Amino acid sequence: MQASPVLVSSDDLYLFNTGQLFRAYRTFGAHLAEREGQSGVRFVVWAPNAREVNVVGDFNGWNSDYRIVDLAQIGTTGVWAGFGPGLGEGARYKYEVASANGEKMLKSDPFGFQSELRPSTASIVTSLHHYEWHDQDWQSSGKSRAPYEKPMLIYEVHLASWRMDGPEQFRDYGRLADELVDYVCGLGYTHIELLPITEHPLDRSWGYQATGYYAATSRYGPPEGLQKLIDRCHGRGIGVLLDWVCGHFCKDDHGLRLFDGSPLYENADYRRAEKPLWGTLAFDFGKPQVLSFLLSNALFWLDVYHIDGLRVDAVASMIDMNFDKPDSMRTVNRYGGTEDIEALHFLRKLNETVFRYYPESLMMAEDSSSYPAVTSPTYVGGLGFNYKWNMGWMNDMLRYMETDPAHRSSRHSLITFSLHYAFSENYVLPLSHDEVVHGKRSMLNKMPGAYPEKFANLRLFYGYWMTHPGKKLLFMGGEFGQFDEWKDYAGLDWDLLRYPLHDSMLRYMERLNQTYRHYPALWESDHKPEGFEWIDVNNASQCMLTFQRNGNSSESSQPIVTVCNFSREAYSVYRIGVARPGCYNLVLNSDEADFGGSGSAMPSRVSSTDVPLHGKPYSIEVPVPALSIQLWQSETA
C-alpha cells in the first residue's frame, strides 16, 4: 500500500533525499495534524530498507496487530508516512521496523521531540510551540557588531552535576532558570555553554552518546522548561551555546544503529563506522539523507530553542578517517589520503547553512588537530567556523603551571609559544570539563605548592588566561577552586565556599571577569596581531612576562600593560618599558588580601620616567609580588 502524497510534499521528499531539506524536523517525526476534518498525529520516518514499518504505543498496547496508524512507504523514496486519527499530545510511541529479512525491532523516533525518562526509551508526541517567548529584544540586538570585537566569557555547565540534592536528584530546567542564571550573571559571564542535552541513555556519558537528537533530555523536565531557561538567560543578557555531537551516535538498540535492519545512519564499512575509542558509530556523511538529518538538527536548536550557537564536538575525529583506530581498521579516501572528504564537506555545509539563516550565530570547533583554516570562510577553502578551541595553548599552559616554580625557567617557551600562532585562527581559550576528569585533577589541584600557594598560582594562571588573546571558557567549579576532580554523579563542592581561600577565589574571579569586560583592550582586537604587543618576552631566568593589550584607538580602549610573575621571588621594584608617558593606574592585582593574597603594599598609581627600556621610550617602576599578575592602564589618550 502506498501512503497518500498529501502527508509529505514531493518537494520535501526531493530535498530530503538530496541532502537539502534544512528543516526536516517540520516534515519528519510525529506532528499534531488534521486530516479530512479529524484531529490526530502524522508520522513520517525514513527507513528505505525496511520490509514494513508500524507505529506502536500506549494507544494500541504496543501491538502492531491493532493498527491505529496506516504507515506506508511513499513510492520508492524510502520515506514512510501515515496518520493516526484520534491520537494526541502525550502519546508514547515507537516504530516497529521489520528488516528486509523480517526481523522486527522497536525504534525510538529519530525526529522525536521528547523521550521518556530513562531507562524507558519511547518517544512522546509533543508540540514545541506552547512556550511564549519574551526574548524579542535579545533576538534583534547585537547583530550589527561582529562577535570578534565583543567580550566573551563562557561558563561551561553540566546541568546534572552543577547542583544536586542527592544521587540522581537533578535540578529541573525551571529551577535552573532561577539559580544558574542568577549565579552566572552575578559573576559577569556573557555565555553559558551546556554539555549535550540531547536525549541519552547513560547519565555518565554526559550526553556525548546520544539517541534522541531532536529531544531535550527528560532528566530535567519537559521541553518548555528548557525554553524557559534559555529565555531567562536572554532576558539577563546571557547567550546560550549547546555542545553538539554530530560526529557519532550511541549504539543502543532503540537508537539509530541499524535503524531499518541495515547500516542507515552509519557507514556500511565497519572500519568507517566504528569509533572504538568511544564505543559509538560515526555518521555516514556520504548519505544525503544523513546530511538533511544533521543540518536540520543544527537549525532545530536555533529555531525552536533559540540557542545562540553550537560547539561542535570532536572535529578532529571527524576529519581524520583513522582517528584513534588500530591498523586493522585503517582506510584511505579516493585520493589515497586519510582526510574524510565527506565529513569536511558536511562541516562546510553545516556552517554555510547555519550562517545563511542565523548570521549572528557562534559556531565553534572543538578541534585538537592542526588542520588549517578552520575559522576561514568556506569560499577560500576554510571550514567556515567562526571560532576554534585553542587546545595547544591549553596543553602548554597546563604543563607549565603544573611545573614547580623553581623549575619553570627552563620551560619558559611553553607560555610564549602560543603567540606564534595566536592569530592564525579565531580562538577560544578553553579550560573545559575534559581537563578536570579521569585523573587529571582539578584546576586548583594541578597547581604546585602548599594550599595557599596553589591559590596564588591559580589566580596568576587565570589572570594570564584572561589577558591572553582569545575568548574564554571555564568549566563550572573552577571559579571557586573546586579541589577534587569533577564528579559527574554529584554536585559541585559548594561547601568549600565556607573556607576563606575558596570564597576569596570566587571574589577574585568575579573581579577578573568584570575587569575583562570593562576594558576593551582585553577583547576588542583578540583576532588581530596589533591587539597584542610583547614588552619583555625573554626574561626566563626570573619567570617574568610583560606585555601590552591594545584595543582600537578610542579613549575607552587605552592599552593595558600586564605584568606576570611566575616565580616565588617577589620584587619591591621592577622596571618595565612603556610606550606612553604619564601616569599608570593599577587595574587589577591578584595578590590583594581580599583575593587570598599576601596583601603586600601596592601603589594604585605610578608615573613614567624618561628611561628607555624594552625598546620603549619610557618606563615605570612597580612592585611585583611572588606568583602574581598586575594590570596597569595609562591615563593618557
| Residue 42 belongs to domain with CATH number | 2.60.40.10
Show the beta-strand stretches assigned E in 165-285.
191-194, 198-199, 212-216, 239-244, 248-249, 274-275, 280-282
User: What percent of the chain shows pLDDT beyond 70?
Assistant: 97
Q: How high is the pLDDT of residue 141? A: 82
- Asked whether the predicted pLDDT for residue 218 surpasses 50, the reply is yes
Reported confidence tier of residue 309, pLDDT bands at 50, 70, 90: very high
Q: How high is the pLDDT of residue 462? A: 98
- Asked whether the predicted pLDDT for residue 187 surpasses 50, the reply is yes
Which residue intervals of 261-390 are DSSP H helices?
270-273, 288-304, 315-319, 341-357
- Asked whether the predicted pLDDT for residue 94 surpasses 60, the reply is yes
Average pLDDT over residues 582-610: 96
- Asked whether the predicted pLDDT for residue 127 surpasses 80, the reply is yes
Residue 111 lies inside a defined structural domain of this protein: yes
Average pLDDT over residues 213-242: 97
Residue 528 lies inside a defined structural domain of this protein: no
E strand or H helix that includes residue 106: strand 104-107
Residue 603 lies inside a defined structural domain of this protein: no
Average pLDDT over residues 556-562: 87
Reported confidence tier of residue 553, pLDDT bands at 50, 70, 90: low
Calculate the alpha carbon distances from 321 to 256, 264, 285, 326, 342 in Å: 21, 19, 12, 11, 10
d(CA 448, CA 480): 17
Average pLDDT over residues 273-293: 97
Q: Which residues of 155-194 are buried (b: 16+ CB within 10 A; e: fewer)?
A: bbbbbbbbbbeeeeebbebbbbbeebbebbeebbbbbbbb
Name the maximum alpha-carbon separation found in the chain: 93
Q: What is the DSSP letter of 339?
A: B
Residue 95 lies inside a defined structural domain of this protein: yes
- Asked whether the predicted pLDDT for residue 379 surpasses 90, the reply is yes
pLDDT in tens, 339-353: 999 999 999 999 999
Reported confidence tier of residue 168, pLDDT bands at 50, 70, 90: confident
pLDDT in tens, 474-505: 999 999 999 999 999 999 999 999 999 999 99
Reported confidence tier of residue 146, pLDDT bands at 50, 70, 90: confident
Average pLDDT over residues 366-370: 95
Helices 391-401, 451-467: crossing angle, 10 deg rounding: 150
d(CA 576, CA 548): 11
Q: How high is the pLDDT of residue 143? A: 55
Domain tally, the chain: 1
Q: How high is the pLDDT of residue 636? A: 62
d(CA 67, CA 60): 7
E strand or H helix that includes residue 186: helix 173-187
d(CA 570, CA 544): 11
Residues carrying an active site annotation: 313, 366
Average pLDDT over residues 321-334: 95
Residue 64 lies inside a defined structural domain of this protein: yes
Calculate the alpha carbon distances from 165 to 175, 293, 492 in Å: 12, 37, 11
d(CA 308, CA 387): 14
Residue 24 lies inside a defined structural domain of this protein: yes
Q: Which domain holds residue 95?
A: 5-124
Residue 103 lies inside a defined structural domain of this protein: yes
pLDDT in tens, 517-552: 999 999 999 999 999 999 999 999 999 999 999 998
d(CA 635, CA 88): 67
Quickly count: other Cβ atoms within 10 Å of residue 344's Cβ.
17
Q: How high is the pLDDT of residue 554? A: 63
Reported confidence tier of residue 5, pLDDT bands at 50, 70, 90: very low
pLDDT in tens, 394-445: 999 999 999 999 999 999 999 999 999 999 999 999 999 999 999 999 999 9
Which residue intervals of 305-340 are DSSP H helices?
315-319
Q: How high is the pLDDT of residue 448? A: 98
Average pLDDT, the chain: 95
Q: How high is the pLDDT of residue 250? A: 96
Average pLDDT over residues 282-293: 98
d(CA 183, CA 155): 10
d(CA 192, CA 473): 9
Reported confidence tier of residue 320, pLDDT bands at 50, 70, 90: very high
Residue 479 lies inside a defined structural domain of this protein: no
